[in-house]
Amino acid sequence: MALLLSKKTTPILVQNTDIELTSIYVRIVFTCNLDGTLTVNYKTYLNYDSFLEGKELSTNIVNLTYNFAILPTETQSLETALIYMKNEFILLGYNVIID
């Protein structure tokens, strides 16, 4: 599963350039911590094929690690990590689809 990001109010730029992308492909890695929190890291790619080829893409989205205190009623899972990251990216000004 992945996140597909596109511009809502914040442009997606290739790092250190003025090249604006219409969308990017985001894969996450998450850790379920003993205290019930989630630590989520992610990497960005131009698209799914770039991910398969291992070709990471540096963008203007620079915070690559997030820590989330999830609700006691939520499970530490991939789905929860994706939902929390989706919400974070929405707050940053992107349209997000969980794919």
Q: What is the pLDDT of residue 54?
A: 97
pLDDT digits (tens, 9 = 90+) for 48-59: 999 999 999 999
DSSP letter at 72 equals T
Find the mean pLDDT for residues 58-72: 92
For residue 86, how many C-alpha atoms fall within 13 Å in the half-sphere facing its CB? 15
Residue 90: φ, ψ to 5°: -60, -45
Distance CA 24, CA 47 (A): 6
In the chain, the percentage of residues whose pLDDT exceeds 70 is 100
Residue 62 pLDDT grade (very low, low, confident, very high; cuts 50, 70, 90): confident
Residue 57: φ, ψ to 5°: -130, 120
Residue 85 pLDDT grade (very low, low, confident, very high; cuts 50, 70, 90): very high
Instruction: Give domain limits for the chain.
Output: 3-98
Residue 17 pLDDT grade (very low, low, confident, very high; cuts 50, 70, 90): very high
Calculate the alpha carbon distances from 59 to 5, 32, 71, 98 in Å.
12, 26, 31, 19
Q: What is the pLDDT of residue 10?
A: 94
Is residue 63 scored above 90 in pLDDT?
no
